[in-house]
Amino acid sequence: MRCATMGCNSSNLSPLSPVDLLFLDASELQTRLTERKLTSVQLVKAGLEQIRRENHQGLKLNAIISTPPEEEVIKLAEELDREREQGRVRGPLHGITIIVKDAIGTHPELKMATTSGSYALKTSVVAGDSQVIEKLRKAGVLILGKANLTEFCQMKGDNITTGWSAVGGQTTSAYIEGGIRHDQGRGGPTMPGGSSTGSAVGISAGFSPIALGTETDGSVIQPANRAALFAVKPTHGMVSLEGAWQLSTSFDVIGPMAKSAGDLANLLNVIVKNETANYPEFLTKSFANLRLGFVDPDIWRFPDAYSHPIDGVRDQMRTAYLDAKSKIETLAKKVEYPISIVLPEDLNISGQPSISNVITYEYGPLIDSYLKNLTESEVRSLDELIKWNEAHRELELPEEYPSQSRLVAARDNVPSLENYQAIRSHLKMVTDDLSAVYDAHDIDLIVIPTDSPICSVSAATGFPIGTMPLGYLDYNGKPFGLAVMGRSGDDGLLLQFMSAFEAAFPKRRVPPPLLANLGGAPEDEPQSMI
């Protein structure tokens, strides 16, 4: 084989190069582990070195808040390598590394605090692993780092850039050079998306092949979209939120991100509550039996106020979406276009923002419960948290982000129970109306541009949604994706669609700036090892 890293030679060839980390998904790494061409110890060391190379150095991505002590995670990797040698493999993710959003609790023995991006929680100690982490570790997955996020999952204050937290700083995209441009809107093409920003950027940067995020309204799907990843926000209630920082019992979900649909299927098999789940069986790589509805991309796009129009950007994304529709029409059982579905404004009641009002109603008690149950913490309630931030303004309320308005609203401006119940009833009707669209058109799934408010519809209804990489802007290289939404429980159909998409469309592109940093070129995809 040729050397995958520029300048190396056969005498010092590593089993895993930085370029390998950019390209290989978890399944491909598992193949190398199975064939004894790689060990989990080597994977851990390579991942940590890549984090050192690009997180605070190199491109300075700021995607990772903390990593475990190297000697500790290597001990865990050595044990998994011994199990493999003894013929005891726990599953397809045995010995694979993962990064998890720093809003998901990890056991103190891993020596990584769970901060949600806040200095107020930097010294806090959780009682143990959250349920999803417990499941991952039981499956032999190695927790390699806690990922940066929009602080408190984007529910600290107004006008905070996605991917910024006081502890982690500003996460930036591995695809875009020149940093963030605030003049192009909160959702402009340089923004990395949030709030699970570090989880997505970390995969694209080769820190780990898989990651977990949390989503209330777009926080898994949108950052994954902007990092050219495959991701799923599962059906609401399908994954335990125990031990995670939560905004809303009505909307919150923990979801996986990866470089392939197969890795998503393996991750879902581990983290869902249903112990008999078998999501890999949906990876048929075929559209043949799918009935699909496509929306009008001129309606389903972000509004100008959120992402200011830039010459050529919307035309490129619209063309890519319609070209994808035309290609899938030749492969699927049925395609209907355009179909009409509930719009974001339909979610609101009496002109009030339904989703944000529900979050504001539910958020305070969730914060109080989380803080109360910590083993150690400097704050034990929402009120104490707000006051701590005020007392430590230099850390938590800096000049560029002085607001904690969303925390204050959850304490002082909570909607009435009557208003809350009215919203919940309204959203139930919205869910019924959207479900009727599937029946009326006799379709299984709805396909939408990911760069749109579709995540709000998914949040309001609890329906699962997935995204996959469709293209890259000529303007600045920002990835943009194709989203697919099913009804509750149709998570497997999303995976079927995504596996079929992988088989029919070009492979995802790794970040050119990172590849250039390594002295490589786009054709430097790793070859199979001899």
Give the pLDDT band (50/70/90) at residue 521: low
Residue 15 lies in a domain: no
Per the structure, the complete domain to which residue 427 belongs is given by 26-515
Question: DSSP characters for 389-413?
Answer: HHHTHHHHS-TT----HHHHHHHH-
List the catalytic residues. Answer: 101, 195, 219
Q: What is the rounded average pLDDT of the residues 484-490?
A: 98
Residue 152 lies in a domain: yes
Residue 283 lies in a domain: yes
Q: What is the pLDDT of residues 403-426, one digit of tens each?
A: 999 999 999 999 999 999 999 999
Residue 395 lies in a domain: yes
Query: Where does residue 114 fall: left (phi above 0), alpha (psi -120 to 50 degrees), or beta otherwise?
Result: beta
Q: What is the pLDDT of residues 421-447, one digit of tens each?
A: 999 999 999 999 999 999 999 999 999
Residue 12 lies in a domain: no
In percent, the amount of the chain with pLDDT more than 70 equals: 96
Averaged pLDDT of the chain: 95
Contacts of 190 (CB under 8 A, 6+ apart): 173, 176, 178, 179, 180, 181, 184, 476, 478
Does residue 502 have a pLDDT over 50? Answer: yes
Contacts of 323 (CB under 8 A, 6+ apart): none
Q: What is the rounded average pLDDT of the residues 240-262?
A: 98
Does residue 1 have a pLDDT over 80? Answer: no
Q: What is the rounded average pLDDT of the residues 84-106?
A: 98
Contact indicator for 162, 191 with CB cutoff of 8 Å: yes
- List the CATH number of the domain containing 228: 3.90.1300.10
Residue 38 lies in a domain: yes
**What pLDDT does residue 525 have?**
76
Q: What is the pLDDT of residues 2-28, one digit of tens each?
A: 333 333 333 334 589 999 999 999 999
Residue 20 lies in a domain: no
Domain count for the chain, please give it.
1
Contacts of 146 (CB under 8 A, 6+ apart): 64, 65, 66, 67, 99, 100, 101, 102, 106, 112, 113, 114, 115
Name the H helices within 3-119. 18-23, 26-34, 40-54, 70-85
> 36-45, 345-354, 492-501 — which is least confidently predicted?
345-354
In percent, the amount of the chain with pLDDT more than 90 equals: 94
CA-CA distance, 219 to 225, in Å (whole number)? Answer: 10
Note the pTM of the prediction, 2 decimals.
0.96
Residue 317 lies in a domain: yes
